[in-house]
Structure 1
């Protein structure tokens, strides 16, 4: 951008030289000026194109880096200190990344080049006629104050817009997730009105940001126009001989015209900075949101390679305490051991901490105190992600074939291994029913499967992983009695010889367990089946 400014100054000098040649009726001078004008114009255009290309590539590089960091934080291989909602994650991955990349493409280069560009124009003006340079400096004194005010206004608007957008995205996501339920309850119309109000709040916040940017830009234009007018008045009166500063060189047509031509260039970086203030503030808000997500996944040292868990796996929680940030009590306060190779059902009221307990054993969370250890014949070690399999209430089916959905956790699985997993999970009847069998497409635009069949697909996925520790979070929730019975049978076949810990409200599933524990106020104690009911 600085090179573009220098070449543009040279181009205006060529234009002033042409004008002077025309006034003197000097064909040679006019031709020289025209040639110089063409050369400097081409150089300025090339410099502008190169700057734009560097900005574009820089923005792509920044966006790519941020998306990789976000992907690592949202799909971590380490423990997270907090959970990120899907709406917030999508907003960060799509909009916030673009906001930060836009700042680095527009504002950051401008902040570095603007002082150099203004200095180049000021130096050229001082060489031509130093009183005009002094006028430029004096008339631009009010601009930094206006730019600061513009930044404060833009920041307030950006904060409100971010909050409104996050709320709107969360409502949209929840509405699509629960669309079938909303229809069944006759609540779709009411939900639509909520969506409309949320969209109106986003529109109002966006218009507020635009109004603030327009107002700050208008004030900046008034100040700049006044400064240019003062300088033009001085230059014109000097050319006419009405004003003469002592010890200042007399203005000629060439110098006077060039001073007038480069004067707006002095204020152009300031105008661009004012216009980009809302970009800067949006990027600051976006960077803060991205930082919160990334910092929720602490950087860990490269883990030491350790052998895959083999044989029966025991789990020990020694004086484990876990408390969520801002909570006034522990969610988990447990001293307990889970017997290797056994099924253990953990029952309790909703919100009692069953899922939190499983996340501690899986290595998704760090305990606030105490330690979680996995015990094998080769020793004891803390849990880490990937050493256990998790089957939850919701099974995500991708828009892919049945085969690809089953081998999601182990892409290198052979056909024989997939077939064994299908049989163990009780999927053979479903596979034979679908046209194409394992090649039948599921998901959006494909074949539908029942909730029970989806759970058995999740079991087949888990089976392919070959892990010896299974963590099941309400695996039979929302199933009828027949489907629940089929899923329990499939789980029993798939987990033979494995350690299984189940969080459940189901009496039937608890009855299938070897041990039943109840969780109350974060504490675990043995329960009978009557208590499990």
Structure 2
């Protein structure tokens, strides 16, 4: 009994969270529902005009008047516009819901300040991309339908009852069979949603693990078994997807049988009444226009039921997505809140102390860095050298606070005391510089959005960008294209240096900042780095001999441990 109660509570929590997720898109989705009701009304007007014109042409042998044609085409045009409006506002509502969920996920999943624990990347990617869309798709479909369906069905039922009440009675009786079909659709959809999510998670985990351990898999000759595992995971996802499609087809087929039966009974009654074989004393006289209108409205009456059956499938997929998203948000936002309460400000030169630091990736017992103990002096340049894949970037992320050690401690030491690493307290420059399609000034201000023009110009000078900016026609207001189009790779790196300078941090962490640069561009970036970091502590991972020679200390890392330490020899 307790387990059943817990399951019911969990299910209620899922439904409550799912309902709350619709709030950002509620207004446009309500407008979409209004448009759907108007679509029904205008379509009824259009079919009424068509039935009246058919009566006149076929029975009275009269040509349709301009008024009749105007009502016919005007009703069709307005119904089309209402359909377009409903689709437009559904898309806006869907976009707002997805954007709100993604904003919370991205804000929580990105490391910040004290939160350095690494979340499951496969689940994070699945939640941010696919599961968020499942929730937004459900609300975009279900909310307008839930609001508009009762009104639309009542309108169609009343119009049908006004012209031929026996046809309305047939619609009402047929409606009693629909809830059973909707229940079937819900049960089948839930089974398919749970199975689909589990197989998607499995495939995502295998793919991510394969990318992370590709070098290791290749070195031990395990590529073939991993390829088979990937193929098996993909095959299971395909089988689960096809099973879900079959379930949807089954529930849809049952719905089609009910609707087809109702239309057939109505068509039979109308046909026999027009031929004079069936006469109900209390029923109004059957005419071609009333019979045709009742027959045209019959499929419209059941359309909301079809949409609700489809919504059952999207609802169960959305409910299956909720636990993954809620778990990620709970873990990320709780840790983020801790960081926001305790992020200290660094003052003065920073020393970095690592004590027996070991780090293993999630679900792996093999350490990437193992038992590292070292001290980086304040105001010094320290280069970390070694071949690719030995843990240089991981070590930098531990120093910067992007990751938390599996074992040991990392401390930043200033004149005011010791503090654990936290993002925002240091500047990070990597191999890839993120440049937005905006002005050079705006790209630099990412380091500190409130910086004034004079501060931006000082950052430009410190990064050695003054000559670059001077030769551009609009100077700092020059607009960059997507990905920094208009600047060379080296110039883009110097924008990253100016951005870091503007953030005014005492610790700089650099991951291959001169990678893929020719010797001249590399020399200019090294000069800019030294100019911008005077008096600051710099830790840089590099393959570049020129950059290593410019450091005060060079650490050689291999097998996840520091193998040798030496003072750099100036060129």
**RMSD between superposed Cα atoms in Å:** 5.8
Give the structure 2 partner of residue 359 of structure 1: 397
Cα shift readout 1:412-446 (whole Å, capped 9, x = no counterpart) = 33333333322322223323333333333333498
Provide the C-alpha distance between the structure 1 equivalents of 2:171 and 2:453, rounded to a whole number of angstroms. 79
Do the aligned partners of residues 141 and 215 (structure 1) sit closer, same or farther apart at CA in structure 2, a change above 3 Å counting? closer
* Post-superposition CA distance 1:207-229 (Å, at most 9, x none): 97997666753442123333665
Counterpart among 63, 72, 80 of residue 107 in structure 2: 72
**In the alignment, what sits opposite 2:547?**
509
Question: In the alignment, what sits opposite 1:316?
Answer: 353
Q: In the alignment, is residue 100 of structure 1 matched against residue 131 of structure 2? A: no
Aligned partner of 1:331 in structure 2 is 368
Match among 415, 424, 430 for residue 386 of structure 1: 424
Shift of 1:377: 0.8
1:465-484 alignment, distance < 5 Å: 465-484=503-522
- Structure 1 match to 2:332: 297
Return the alpha-carbon distance in structure 2 between the equivalents of residues 320 and 253 of structure 1: 91
Aligned to 2:379: 341
- Partners of 2:552 and 2:568 within 8 A in 1: no
Distance 1:445 1:65 in 2: 25
> Partners of 1:304 and 1:446 in 2: how far apart?
36
Say if 2:487 is the partner of 1:429. no
Contact 1:344 1:500 in 2 (8 A): yes
> Structure 1 residues 60, 453: CA separation in 2 closer, same or farther (over 3 Å shift)?
closer
Counterpart-to-counterpart distance in 2, 1:424 and 1:272: 62
Deviation string 1:498-533 (CA, Å, 9 cap, x unpaired) is 1111111222222222222222332234334799xx
Partner residue, 2:527 = 489
Q: Structure 1 residues 384 and 402, CA, compared in 2 at 3 Å: closer, same or farther?
A: same
**1:470 CA displacement:** 0.5
1:150 and 1:274 in contact (8 A); partners too: no
Number of equivalences: 466
Distance 2:330 2:192 in 1: 26
Relative to structure 1, the CA distance from residue 135 to residue 233 in structure 2 (aligned partners, 3 Å threshold; closer, same or farther) is farther
Question: Does structure 2 conserve the Cα–Cα contact (< 8 Å) formed by 1:424 and 1:494?
Answer: yes
Q: Which runs of 5+ in 1 are unaligned?
A: 16-44, 123-127, 171-200, 243-249
Whole-angstrom distance in 2 between the partners of 1:116 and 1:318: 69
- The residue aligned with 1:438 is 476
- CA deviations on 1:227-264 (whole Å, 9 max, x unpaired) are 66579989999xx999xxxxxxx99999xx9x999998
Question: Would the alpha carbon gap of residues 449 and 83 (structure 1) be closer, same or farther in structure 2, given more than 3 Å must change?
Answer: farther
**CA 1:136–1:217 in 2, change beyond 3 Å: closer, same or farther?**
closer
* Change over 3 Å in CA distance of 1:112–1:347 after alignment to 2: same
| Contact preservation (8 Å) 2:181, 2:251 | no
Q: Secondary structure at the match of 1:371?
A: strand
Per-residue CA deviations over 1:117-161 (Å, capped at 9, x if unaligned) read 999999xxxxx99x9899658745762465257637974997799
**Which residue, out of 439, 454, 465, partners 1:401?**
439
3-state SS, counterpart of residue 497 of structure 2: helix
Pairwise CA distance, 1:280: 3.6
Give the 3 Å change call, closer, same or farther, for CA 372–132 of structure 1 in structure 2: same
Distance 1:149 1:328, change over 3 A: same
* CA drift at 1:390: 0.6
Alignment map for 1:167-246 (pairs within 5 Å): 216-226=251-261
2:337 match: secondary structure: coil
Call closer, same or farther: CA 1:83–1:488 in 2, change over 3 Å.
Answer: farther
Q: Contact 1:157 / 1:209 at 8 angstroms: preserved in 2?
A: no
CA contact (8 A) 1:150 1:277 kept: no
Normalising by structure 1, report the TM-score.
Answer: 0.65
Identify which range, 450-459 or 113-122, moves more after superposition: 113-122
Contact 1:319–1:371 (CA<8 Å) still a contact in 2?
Answer: yes
**Unmatched 5+ residue regions in structure 2?**
1-32, 49-78, 158-164, 209-234
Check whether the contact 2:412–2:419 (CA below 8 A) recurs between aligned residues: yes
Q: Which residue is equivalent to 1:182? A: none
